């Protein structure tokens, strides 16, 4: 990965972190609506990122999470089988 790409990824993570930290459901709904207006290939690529995130959460050892994100880890574990058996192609 190029240095420029890494910088863009870090900036995107910071932007998403800011959104989820500073805003409520209305802003999340707006984010979802905006994402739904993106090109269909980009929507699928975004879903692959979400899929990778849930698989990462599901793989966390108990010592690597706490009550702040335990519900996310437990949800990820419940849907892990479905995620692992559904690979999204890059079209």
- What distance in Å separates the CA atoms of residue 24 and residue 2, rounded to the nearest whole number? 34
| Residues with Cβ within 8 Å of residue 15, at least 6 apart in sequence | none
Which two structure tokens, joined as six digits, stand for 90?
A: 């890059």
Q: Is 4 left (phi over 0), alpha (psi -120 to 50) or beta?
A: alpha
Q: Kindly report the backbone phi and psi dihedral angles of residue 89, in degrees, each rounded to the nearest multiple of 5, phi listed first.
A: -75, 155
Could you give the CA distance from residue 27 to residue 43 in angstroms, rounded to a whole number? 18
Average pLDDT per run of 10 along the chain, which is 91 residues long?
90 90 83 95 94 94 92 95 82 71
pTM for the whole thing?
Answer: 0.83
């Amino acid at each position: 990965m190029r240095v420029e790409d890494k910088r863009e990824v870090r900036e995107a993570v910071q932007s998403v972190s800011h959104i989820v930290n500073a805003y409520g459901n209305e802003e999340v709904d707006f984010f979802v609506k905006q994402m739904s207006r993106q090109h269909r290939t980009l929507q699928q690529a975004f879903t692959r990122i979400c899929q990778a995130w849930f698989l990462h959460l599901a793989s966390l050892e108990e010592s690597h999470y706490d009550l702040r994100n335990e519900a996310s880890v437990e949800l990820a574990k419940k849907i892990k089988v479905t995620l692992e058996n559904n690979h999204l192609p890059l079209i």
